[in-house]
Every structure is written in C-alpha cells, then in structure tokens.
C-alpha cells in the first residue's frame, strides 16, 4: 500500500456549501433581465449587500476551507509547478469564456479579469501559502494584513487627487484599475463615473484574504474535538469585526472592502456550521446529495452554465436569439416581469445542472 497518499474522506457539508455557492452564482448570472429581476438576485448597485453578493465570496471561502484538506498531511505536498499550472488553467478558462462572449481582437474589447480569473489568482497565492505553512496563524495573519493594507489604501487619495474617494471608478481603486488595466475593457457606470473593474487589482487583496480565512479556520477546526463550535465562534468574531470595521469602510462588493470580506466570512462560516450540525440528519437525502455533488464538480457546472448562456445569447431562431425566444414565451404567460426573469434563470440553470450531472455520471468533469 502507498502510505504517501492517505485515503481522504470528502467533507460533504463543505461540498454542500460550495454547491450552494455555485448554484447561487448560476441563478444570479442567468437572469433573463437584470433590469426586471428581483432586487436580491442582482448585485447591489454600489454599497450594500444582496444575495447575489454572497455567492462569490462564499465560493472563495470554500476554496480556502478545502485547501488544508487536500494539502496538509499529504507527502509529498503538491509542487509549486502544479499549483502554478492549475492557477494558469483557471485563468485561461475564464479568459477564453469571456473572449468568446465578447469576440474581438481589439485590446479595448478584451477583459483580462473575471470570476475564474480572480479564482486563479487567489488560488495561486493561497495554495502556495498553504503549502509552505502548517499552522493557522500564518494565513490568519496574512488575511488581517491584506485587509488592513487594502483598507488603508482605500483611504488614501489617488495620485493627482486631493482627497480619497470610494465612489464608483474613483479613488485609489479606480486609479489602479485604469493604471494597470487601462486600454482593455473596463466597466462603465450609469452615473457616468470613470471606468473601473469589479475584479480589479486592489480588491483582489481582500479577495485573497477571504480564502486565507478559510485556510485558517479549517486548520483551527481540525484540531478541536468540537469543530462546529470553533467554526461558529469565528463566524461570530467576524460579525463583531464587521460592526467595528463599518465605521471605516462600507460593505461594497466592487471594492471588496474589509467589511465585505468579514461579513461574508461570518455568513459563510455560519452556514457551514449549520450544515455540519444538520448533515447527519439530511445528508442522505437526494436533495442534499445533489447539492454536495454539484459542489464537488463546481468548475464543470460553472463552465456548463456559461456555455448554456452563450448558446441562448448567440443561437438564432426565426430572426431572434434563442434566449429572447424563451424569454418572450415565458412573458406571454402574463407573469410579472420579475418572475419572468427568475423563471428564465431557473430553466437555464436547470438545463445547466442536468447537463453537469450527466457529465459527472460519465466521469467527464473538468479537473485542473
């Protein structure tokens, strides 16, 4: 028997947390109409927090929670070359999807950042940190330092400005977006604010901190007889820190402020603690197993849902795109427009889930 590769039992509660996160991302991304969607399924316009703002941080938190399970105690540990390769593949898959959606060879039409691209960068930093350390202290300190540096920079004026700003496209965050990503496709704003990038360089610092928190919590909990109590305690601590940090920073996803990191860590860890408590009772149910299964193949589901979205947007039927045809058919039922948008997302998301589960059954899943 090869003792260098111990058999690992999957943490199904953690898989379920990841499954909830990826399902939320799919539901938010596939809305038939952002204009008419329920407010809670759209991202907050700027400051604030909605359901849609919870799912990406929850996924990054789950990445951190999973890293020690795949690295700690494994000999030899994954090489840095393997970590870099996986990070590069995540970035490339995200970039390729974005390139297909916005097909153009003009630099101003190309976006080098996005969800999978950010996951790739965050994974690179956090996986190397996890590989090179053995205790919870290093990732916890790293998370605190990253949030503090990010938070301080948000309160500093950008070069050429007299005062700091956290308004859309302004301040140090907006300046760095344009300084590093200028000339490529950035986000506009309905108030004609300067362009910015919601996955820009400065906000990536606290995004990395989100995953570092997951690493620290996992390492703390495995050393406790009652890990759920430890997870819940950290959730409460993060909630308390959010209340204190709110004096200095708003809760803002685009800026990924320290308060946004902390409140999402509190919610994600609280949900994980709840899942661990109830899993012995509900874990064998078909719904619970399906959610956990989707979490285990989350990358496949994400790519499949993007493929479904591309088909709906680009395949023409009778002079209109397939998605427009489906949206019009749902609207013809007389449902309110917010329900029309939601039903469209449920249908498109359901198709994505069925395809993913069929691929999983055949073993055709993306592994990077």
Residues 6+ away with beta carbon under 8 Å from 325: 317, 318
Per-residue pLDDT of 282-304, as tens digits, reads 999 999 999 999 999 999 999 99
Identify the segments of the chain with pLDDT beneath 50: 1-7
Residues 6+ apart with CB under 8 A from 45: none
What CA dihedral angle connects 200, 202, 205 and 208, to 10 degrees?
Answer: 0
Who contacts 111 (Cβ-Cβ below 8 Å, separation ≥6)? Answer: 98, 102, 184, 185, 186, 197
Q: What is the pLDDT of residues 214-257, one digit of tens each?
A: 999 999 998 788 899 999 999 999 999 999 999 999 999 999 99
Task: Give the pLDDT score at 318.
Answer: 77
Instruction: Count helices and strands (H / E) in the chain.
Output: 13, 2
pLDDT at 228: 95
């Amino acid at each position: 028997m090869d003792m260098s590769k111990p058999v690992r039992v999957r943490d199904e509660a953690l898989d379920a947390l990841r499954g909830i996160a990826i399902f939320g991302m799919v539901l938010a991304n596939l809305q038939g109409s952002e204009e008419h969607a329920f407010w809670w399924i759209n991202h907050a316009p700027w400051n604030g927090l909605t359901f849609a703002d919870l799912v990406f941080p929850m996924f990054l938190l789950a990445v951190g929670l999973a890293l020690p399970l795949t690295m700690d105690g494994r000999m030899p540990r994954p090489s840095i070359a393997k970590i870099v390769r996986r990070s590069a593949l995540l970035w490339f898959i995200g970039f390729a999807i974005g390139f297909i959606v916005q097909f153009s060879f003009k630099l101003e039409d190309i976006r080098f950042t996005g969800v999978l691209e950010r996951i790739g960068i965050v994974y690179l930093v956090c996986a190397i940190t996890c590989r090179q350390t053995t205790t919870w202290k290093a990732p916890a300190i790293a998370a605190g330092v990253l949030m503090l540096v990010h938070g301080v920079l948000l309160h500093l004026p950008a070069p050429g400005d007299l005062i700091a700003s956290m308004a859309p496209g302004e301040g140090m965050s907006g300046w760095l977006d344009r300084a590093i990503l200028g000339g490529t496709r950035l986000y506009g704003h309905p108030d004609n604010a300067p362009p910015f990038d919601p996955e820009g360089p400065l906000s990536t610092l606290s995004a990395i901190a989100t995953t570092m928190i997951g690493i620290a919590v996992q390492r703390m909990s495995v050393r406790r007889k009652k890990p759920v109590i430890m997870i819940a305690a950290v959730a409460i601590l993060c909630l308390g820190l959010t209340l204190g940090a709110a004096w200095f920073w708003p809760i803002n996803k685009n800026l990924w402020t320290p308060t946004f990191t902390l409140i999402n860590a509190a919610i994600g860890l609280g949900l994980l603690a709840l899942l661990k408590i109830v899993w012995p009772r509900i874990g064998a149910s078909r719904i619970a197993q399906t959610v956990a299964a989707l979490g285990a193949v989350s990358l496949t589901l994400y790519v499949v849902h993007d493929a479904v979205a591309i088909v709906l947007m680009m395949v023409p039927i009778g002079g209109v795109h397939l998605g427009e045809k489906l949206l019009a058919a749902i609207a013809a039922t007389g449902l309110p427009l917010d329900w029309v948008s939601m039903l469209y997302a449920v249908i498109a998301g359901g198709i994505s889930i069925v395809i993913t589960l069929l691929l999983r059954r055949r073993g055709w899943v993306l592994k990077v």
